[in-house]
Structure 1
Amino acid sequence: MLYLSQLLGRPVREVEGERVATLKDVIVRLGEDHPTVTGVVARYRRRDFFVPRARVAMIDAQGVRLNSDILDLRRFARRDGEAMLARDVLDKQLIDVDGKRVVRVNDVQLIEGGGEWRVTGADVTFAGLWRRLIPQNFVGSTRTVEVIDWADVGYLATDAATVQLKSSRDKLSRLHPVEIARLAEALSRHQGAEVIEALDDETAAETLEEMHAEDQARIIGDMEEERAADILEHMSPDEAADVLGDLPEDKAEDLLELMDHEEKSDVEELLPYEDDEAGGLMTTEFVVLPKHLTAGGALARLREMAETPNMIYYLYVVEEEGSWKLSGVIALRNLILADPDAPLHEVMRDEFQHAHPKDSARDVAETIAEYNLLALPVVDDAGEIAGIVTVDDAMEYLLPKDWRQRLPRVFG
């Protein structure tokens, strides 16, 4: 086992042992859990050149021994998918998906096996920095060393455009969107955006919903428009409307035009409302059922629905099929326990709390808190349900600012 710090600056020797260059960097090809060393960068008279692994006979703490006297002294040029451990990894931040944290790389661990050297871990302790800065004093040191398995590196925060972990999406998806959001916000703005772009559309949408409004708008606004529209389609309509509302008008219109018709329509319904109104808080993701259905028929219809909201606590009963005129509300639990043959109008509550789209957001939040509701229907002047305000969105108006990020998203 070696650490990168033990190799940098060491001699590169030819077959007979004569020093011909100095080791400048170690090259690996990303894509595997433990990337293989493909060669080294050596320096000779201010010129950096590449020595492929096939020309290397031995690597140890004394440096590199070549197996050939033939060297290609053309200047080194990095290829796509390659990482330079000293330049791209040392002193950079990474996401440790096992520890769910952002850490700084102070040294890189390399282990030989089967005739190949591989990157096996990142030393994130002060011991790694100490080993680099004062190597002669590190021998025999009892300083604690913590090495993160490279297989748990979900994102490498480097400025090199060609360096990104192909496995980032799979590794980051092991984390909850709340955790990904927290980690992305701990990185620089550019690097946090890279984390979001590395995710699949659904996970990216869920992660963005957990981020601050200004970060949401910035990331979506800077993203390639087709991808941004795809992510907006996976966000809840109210969240997507909030993001678009924070973008320049022409940018928001361009993204709306790229969205699928159904998702676009849901979002457009919410855009006219202000953030501090019930209409600006509400989502259009809810389930309506006609009151002529029986309890058993209603449950059957729920099972047949192609898409339903992530969490359903209440069902909203309307006058008839295709109508939006709200007649009553049924808690899902009560529907499940009801006589399957009972019509919905006998099971529902026809007296219920509701809000108007123009009601203040604070009044809505206070109503939800006072009546211990998980959601409150928003009903327009015609008595039609326009949306619902969920408890997690409403409570943001009552909780202190530093508590808002801790509030679980009850409705996913």
Structure 2
Amino acid sequence: MIYLSQLMGNPVYAADGEKIGTVSDLGIATGEVFPRVTSLAFKGPGRTPFMISWRKYVDTYDEKEIHLKVPAVEIRFSYLQPDEVLIARDILNKQIVDTRGMRVVRVNDLKLSDTSSTQLRLLGAEVGARGILRSLSPALEHVALKVARTFGHPIPERIIAWSYMDLVERDLSNVKLSVSHKTLDDMHPADIADIIERLDPRLRGQVFAQLDDEQRAGAMAEFDDDAMAAELMGGMNEREASRMLSEMDPDDAAELVSELDYDKAEKLLRLMGVQEQRAIRQLLGYREDTAGRIMTSEFAALPEGKTVADAVELLRGLDEDFESVRYVYLSDEDNKLSGVVTLNSLIVAEPQTPLADICTREVITASPEDDQEDVAEDIAKYNLLAMPVVADDGHLLGIVTVDDALDVLEEEHAEDLQIAGGIASDDESAHGGDLLWLLRRNAWFFIWMVGAGLFVALSHLTPAFQAPLHEVLLVCSALPIALVLADDSVSYVTNFFLENDPDDEDSPSMLGFTIKSLALGIAFATLVVLVEMALDSVVAAAAGASMPKPLHAGFIAAAIAVLVAFVLCPVWLLVLRKRDEKNEDTSGFALSVMAMVIACLVFCFAVGQLANVMGILGVFA
């Protein structure tokens, strides 16, 4: 086995031993299971690029040099064929789609198989750390492997076979592979959406443009980032965008159109068919985050006087892309929802059985103005596959399907995690790195170190504040108490916010929450003072003297900061509720940092005031 990185830059010698250049690339024929190397690209004198046939001219090769069969004067230039690509130019350091693993990866090296003395074939792409190390230096890779094995953590190769690679920066749609494998076009829309979201922004449009209208519509409905979906749609011409919207379910199309500016949305809607346009406009008429906004107007309904045979005929006549049907809804003479028939009931019933005889009359419904989260929770609670949405007069408007309910619950769960200070997705820690992960979980420690550093700097740089270092450190030793409890105060607020709906009559009032927060602040501040008194007693009993004054001051300042932190709890609750009313995301981590910074400032201020009283820290009277 040999790697592209081991060949790049190697000298190329003619048959007479003359050095004629250095290797710059290899060409492969893509129409094979393991593509043959067909061309050798090298840079000659004056860095002039040359390309020659590998089969015709290459005699021998290894990891150090390549020898040709003929003298330099007999070499003839060749051209890249339509089914050929240059692997260094077109694959190395590019993003590819691993269609087996359904992910986007970056090619760090390419693995070649020397099937004979002169024949090379491409096996696949190295996407792991070893490819990076090897491209930097083979010696560095060797050392890293030995060190990793020593510690019991070997670095494995991560090779993606050619048959499972789809390039995303080069259009190879006309290249026919001789092996049957899943390509990007054959993937489920959710997998396509996931891959496109992980691509560099400059590549998303290129990949999206390769899909047909149906595939685009499916992928659009699966995007987690609505703004990114709107951006992709903005790159399409209006007729293409309109056709794609027509392929989407009305609820998904309405959600996407709501992300566009008014003029753009109106142009697209006017280009659509009358039926599709009416369905989308109807959904856009409802407020965001309501059942009306996420329902679909595609459902199966019949008068209750019809038979099982009529229902089967109705279902057989539906389009293939019709919203998944699990129920047939019945209406009475006044066109009001009167019952529901499940598919299971239809299957076992006789064709001439009246639907009214096998329907369920007690139907759980929602109003179009109901909160989408409440509707989703009811669907989960009652194990429904869809919930009908009815108007005030009982007329059936649409249905909320279980897949939309799951999307709502997932979105609400992510928001709750964010408010609670958790990480909403697995990728965030990967993108932010270990330092961000550590910062999120130990923010108090970093703020403590910064606060202590400022204290020390102040004691050395400010003429009016010349304090011995040991006194500064004693004072700062009590600061973590204030920071940790300030962090806990925000957790207390976020838990209250998530568990209590202000519109619920049974929820505690704002006044009750304020009183309870103040009581908690007094209790924790008192506890800090009691701990300080207990420590003082222990020190006095052991050493015959009380604790140093700076440590006394630190504990008292911490108690004051804790009290202020809990007094601010109603403020944080108001912030959460106001932003929630505006559908704005709020980070619980950001609130925690703000609360800890305020606690640190209050602590510093309290220490400054206590210093004057207690005659510590060298403060001028």
TM over 0.5: yes
Question: Greater shift after overlay, 145-154 or 345-354?
Answer: 345-354
Deviation at 1:78, TM superposition (A): 7.8
Partner of 2:215: 203
Which of these residues, 90, 95, 98, is aligned with residue 97 of structure 2? 95
Partner of 1:217: 230
Which of these residues, 125, 132, 136, is aligned with residue 133 of structure 1? 136
- Give matches, 1:8-407, under 5 Å: 8-28=8-28, 30=30, 33-44=33-44, 45-53=46-54, 56-58=57-59, 60-61=61-62, 62-65=65-68, 67=70, 69-70=73-74, 83-111=85-113, 117-135=120-138, 144-154=156-166, 156-158=167-169, 162-164=170-172, 166=174, 171-212=183-224, 213-307=226-320, 309-319=322-332, 325-398=336-409, 399-401=412-414
Deviation at 1:113, TM superposition (A): 5.8
Q: Distance in 1 between matches of 2:171 and 2:406?
A: 42
Task: Please tell me whether the aligned partners of residues 12 and 66 of structure 1 are also in contact (alpha carbons under 8 angstroms).
Answer: no
Instruction: Tell me the SS of whatever aligns to 1:305.
Output: coil
Q: Distance in 2 between matches of 1:40 and 1:224?
A: 41
Q: Distance in 1 between matches of 2:238 and 2:34?
A: 34
Q: 1:99 to 1:361 in 2, by over 3 A?
A: closer
**Which is bigger in relative contact order (C-alpha 8 A, separation at least 6)?**
1
Structure 1: give runs of 5+ residues left out of the alignment: 407-412
Deviation at 1:381, TM superposition (A): 4.3
Question: Greater shift after overlay, 242-251 or 388-397?
Answer: 388-397
Partner of 1:409: none
Q: 1:324 to 1:254 in 2, by over 3 A?
A: farther
Task: Please tell me whether the aligned partners of residues 83 and 175 of structure 2 are also in contact (alpha carbons under 8 angstroms).
Answer: no
Q: Distance in 2 between matches of 1:329 and 1:217?
A: 37
Instruction: Tell me the SS of whatever aligns to 1:266.
Output: helix
**One-letter amino acid of the counterpart of residue 107, structure 2:** V
Deviation at 1:315, TM superposition (A): 1.1
Q: Distance in 1 between matches of 2:100 and 2:321?
A: 32
Q: 1:389 to 1:218 in 2, by over 3 A?
A: same
Deviation at 1:60, TM superposition (A): 1.9
Deviation at 1:122, TM superposition (A): 0.9
Task: Please tell me whether the aligned partners of residues 164 and 182 of structure 2 are also in contact (alpha carbons under 8 angstroms).
Answer: no
Structure 2: give runs of 5+ residues left out of the alignment: 147-154, 418-423, 427-621
Q: 1:237 to 1:405 in 2, by over 3 A?
A: farther
Question: Greater shift after overlay, 182-191 or 280-289?
Answer: 182-191
Q: Distance in 2 between matches of 1:308 and 1:338?
A: 26
Q: 1:308 to 1:50 in 2, by over 3 A?
A: closer
RMSD: 3.5
**How high is the sequence identity, in percent, across the aligned residues?**
36
Q: Distance in 1 between matches of 2:82 and 2:281?
A: 42
| C-alpha distance after superposition, 1:92-129 (max 9, x if no partner) | 23221222333332211233569764422112233333
Task: Please tell me whether the aligned partners of residues 83 and 163 of structure 1 are also in contact (alpha carbons under 8 angstroms).
Answer: no
Deviation at 1:282, TM superposition (A): 0.6
Q: Distance in 1 between matches of 2:261 and 2:292?
A: 21
| C-alpha distance after superposition, 1:1-57 (max 9, x if no partner) | 432112111122223231111111223355655444342322121332333446533
Q: Distance in 1 between matches of 2:425 and 2:315?
A: 32
Q: Distance in 2 between matches of 1:112 and 1:239?
A: 51
**One-letter amino acid of the counterpart of residue 2, structure 2:** L
Q: Distance in 2 between matches of 1:252 and 1:78?
A: 45
Deviation at 1:64, TM superposition (A): 4.9
Instruction: Tell me the SS of whatever aligns to 2:230.
Output: helix
Deviation at 1:196, TM superposition (A): 3.2
Deviation at 1:281, TM superposition (A): 1.1
Q: 1:206 to 1:348 in 2, by over 3 A?
A: same
Deviation at 1:298, TM superposition (A): 1.5
Q: 1:221 to 1:328 in 2, by over 3 A?
A: same
Deviation at 1:303, TM superposition (A): 2.4
Instruction: Tell me the SS of whatever aligns to 1:28.
Output: strand
Structure with the greater alpha carbon radius of gyration: 2
Instruction: Tell me the SS of whatever aligns to 2:366.
Output: coil
Deviation at 1:332, TM superposition (A): 1.9
Task: Please tell me whether the aligned partners of residues 2 and 110 of structure 1 are also in contact (alpha carbons under 8 angstroms).
Answer: yes
Partner of 2:478: none
Deviation at 1:400, TM superposition (A): 0.8
Task: Please tell me whether the aligned partners of residues 106 and 122 of structure 1 are also in contact (alpha carbons under 8 angstroms).
Answer: yes
Deviation at 1:181, TM superposition (A): 2.5
Deviation at 1:203, TM superposition (A): 3.2
Q: 1:163 to 1:311 in 2, by over 3 A?
A: closer
Task: Please tell me whether the aligned partners of residues 241 and 268 of structure 1 are also in contact (alpha carbons under 8 angstroms).
Answer: yes
Deviation at 1:136, TM superposition (A): 5.2
Q: Distance in 1 between matches of 2:379 and 2:140?
A: 64
Task: Please tell me whether the aligned partners of residues 13 and 66 of structure 1 are also in contact (alpha carbons under 8 angstroms).
Answer: no
Deviation at 1:352, TM superposition (A): 2.0
**One-letter amino acid of the counterpart of residue 359, structure 1:** D
| C-alpha distance after superposition, 1:252-301 (max 9, x if no partner) | 23333444454344333322222222221111121112322212331233
Q: Distance in 2 between matches of 1:335 and 1:11?
A: 76
Partner of 1:7: 7
Q: 1:351 to 1:297 in 2, by over 3 A?
A: same
Q: Distance in 2 between matches of 1:67 and 1:206?
A: 56
Instruction: Tell me the SS of whatever aligns to 1:58.
Output: strand
Q: 1:139 to 1:214 in 2, by over 3 A?
A: closer
Q: Distance in 2 between matches of 1:290 and 1:111?
A: 69
Q: State the aligned residue count.
A: 398
Q: 1:261 to 1:193 in 2, by over 3 A?
A: same
Task: Please tell me whether the aligned partners of residues 49 and 72 of structure 1 are also in contact (alpha carbons under 8 angstroms).
Answer: no
**One-letter amino acid of the counterpart of residue 186, structure 1:** R
Q: Distance in 2 between matches of 1:232 and 1:306?
A: 17
